[in-house]
Amino acid sequence: MKRFLILFLLSCLNSCQLDQQTQKPNIIIIYADDLGYGDVSAYGQGKLNTPNIDKLANNGSRFTNGYSSSATCSPSRYALMTGTYPWRNKRAKILTGANLIIDTGEMTIPKMLKTQGYQTAIVGKWHLGLGNSKIDYNKKISPGPNEVGFDYSFIIPDTQDRVPTVYMENGKVVNLDPEDPLEVSFEKNFEGQPTGKDNPELLSMMWHHGHNGSIVNGVPRIGFMKGGEQAKWSDIDMADEFLNQAKRYINKAKETPFFLYYTLQQPHVPRTPHPRYEGTSGMGPRGDAIVEADWCIGELYNHLKKNNLLENTIIILSSDNGPVINDGYYDEAVEKLGDHTPAGRLRGGKYSLFEAGTRVPFITYWKGKIKPAVSDQIVSQIDYLNSIASIVGSDIRSKDGVDLSNVLFQNTGKGRSELILEATSRTAYRSQNWVLIPPYSGPAVSPNVNIEIGNASEYQLYNLEDDIAQQQNLAGSNPQKLREMIDRYESIININ
């Protein structure tokens, strides 16, 4: 009997060890909103200090040619989730109160991971639309994140500057009092409700362009809302709320492999860091919000460490688009910038076809697996799906992604040779170190945000190898390269 018991215990031990060895890694994608290439101190460009992001960057792979798929949010997020270029989807534009732009039949990272036994969650900003007809926030809204692959969702629907200013959990507005229904409109105000336009005396933050609709917590927003008082979020507590939800999810999901898509709201406008961060950067609320985001990332890291999860968790960190200083509020970002360079030495910023629109902080970390390295390989968020699929043993592949699992997670191999970049429905083409920007009409500098967005009446051709700041247009002096780039660009853009 005793011998049987010992044999039984031994076999249990064996299978436990096997389980541990064969367990698939947890995957966490941390996705910042409008964080620039030069905003992370590990990139050695600006003046901000981001010690917690640096810890991941310096102990993992830090990519210097890492791209978001677009210079704005919703298109980038669409491409990240699906591995499909955003310009193939006509609805993948900056969204405001729109319906879901991912087809529920489309493959996504969380769906792929579910085929491999993962639990999946999103905590943070969504901005990919909700529902498929007029949205009624007083009912459960579907389809949304839960219908495109997430078992659990705790989100803000669009962005912090848009109504409704409420959290949603698994399709339902959190803390909504049925006696105080929530109404939302992007066309007209509800009678008797103050707005940023008509009631500047009620504002704690003044609007600069747009953002003059309903006022919530003293901050004027895009769009109008009425009711739902009890459900309104507290802006200054949003970072803590998302962090706590992320930790709570990890506690719940840690026994099986999990995927957490942790989508920070910082440093997108309105920049409302918790008062404990006030003044920490010396750059006003934009800098303070980045310090706060960095702290959140450190807290998440510590939580994983405390739970012995670091060795079995891949952390990917990036941003949905490049930086913008004034994106619609007077918040001292311009005045207090000093000599900080959010875009580093790159030209342009958010909304731009120039490099700073889409070249973003791009970091992969896996304790004990990824060796510390700086990589200049060309990698894109559109490749996450294929690369993660490859790591977890799935043969699912997306339309436009490349399997870069070696480059991203093993410090070996080559990145992309080419990539289409997108900014507000315009596209550009990168091949090796060359960038082609086709002619586009419109202002060269976007007047509201004061960013060079890449419009010109002529083709632009740059060689990033010795002109990272895109100062020398070589289109005239290199007609052969120009022709070659145009032909290839057009052949990709025209294939569907």
Judged by the rule CB under 6 A, the positions of this chain that interact with ligand NG6 are 33-34, 72-73, 94, 127, 159, 161, 209-211, 222, 268-269, 321, 327-328
- Answer with the entry of Ca ion, ligand NG6, none that 94 interacts with (C-beta below 5 to 8 A by kind): ligand NG6
SS3 251: helix
Beta carbon of residue 174, minimum distance to ligand NG6 (angstroms, whole number)? 21
Indicate the length of the chain as a whole number.
496
Q: With respect to Ca ion, which residue has the nearer C-beta, 73 or 155?
A: 73
**Angle, in degrees to the nearest 10, between helices 284-306 and 51-59:** 50
Beta carbon of residue 296, minimum distance to ligand NG6 (angstroms, whole number)? 18
- Answer with the entry of ligand NG6, Ca ion, none that 151 interacts with (C-beta below 5 to 8 A by kind): none
Distance CA 303, CA 300 (A): 5
SS3 292: helix
Beta carbon of residue 163, minimum distance to Ca ion (angstroms, whole number)? 18
Cα→Cα distances 183→99, 261, 299, 346, 446, Å:
16, 29, 36, 42, 33
When binding is defined by CB under 5 A, the residue of 27, 29, 32, 34 that contacts Ca ion is 34
Q: Which residue is nearest to ligand NG6 (CB)?
A: 210
Distance CA 313, CA 309 (A): 6
Q: With respect to ligand NG6, which residue has the nearer C-beta, 321 or 341?
A: 321
Cα→Cα distances 459→58, 429, 439, 454, 474, Å:
38, 12, 5, 10, 9
Using CB under 5 A as the binding criterion, the count of chain residues that bind Ca ion stands at: 5
Q: Which residue is nearest to Ca ion (CB)?
A: 73
When binding is defined by CB under 5 A, the residue of 28, 30, 32, 33 that contacts Ca ion is 33
Q: With respect to Ca ion, which residue has the nearer C-beta, 108 or 321?
A: 321
Beta carbon of residue 327, minimum distance to ligand NG6 (angstroms, whole number)? 4
- According to DSSP, residue 476 is labeled T
- Answer with the entry of Ca ion, ligand NG6, none that 327 interacts with (C-beta below 5 to 8 A by kind): ligand NG6
SS (H, E, C) 193-232: CCECCCCHHHCCCEECCCCCCEEECCEECECEEECCHHHE
Q: With respect to ligand NG6, which residue has the nearer C-beta, 70 or 153?
A: 70
Residue span binding Ca ion (CB under 5 A) among the ranges 1-9, 94-102, 318-326, 488-496: 318-326
Beta carbon of residue 79, minimum distance to Ca ion (angstroms, whole number)? 13
The answer to whether 382 and 422 have CB atoms below 8 angstroms apart is no
Distance CA 158, CA 202 (A): 24
When binding is defined by CB under 5 A, the residue of 64, 68, 84, 321 that contacts Ca ion is 321
Site for Ca ion in 64-83 (CB under 5 A): 73
Q: With respect to ligand NG6, which residue has the nearer C-beta, 46 or 328?
A: 328
Beta carbon of residue 33, minimum distance to ligand NG6 (angstroms, whole number)? 6
Beta carbon of residue 35, minimum distance to Ca ion (angstroms, whole number)? 9
Q: With respect to Ca ion, which residue has the nearer C-beta, 73 or 101?
A: 73
Structure tokens at 473: 């247009």
Structure tokens at 244: 């706590």
CA 209, 238, 366: angle at the middle one, nearest 5?
Answer: 110
Other Cβ atoms within 10 Å of 252 Cβ, number: 12
Residues that bind Ca ion (CB under 5 A): 33-34, 73, 320-321
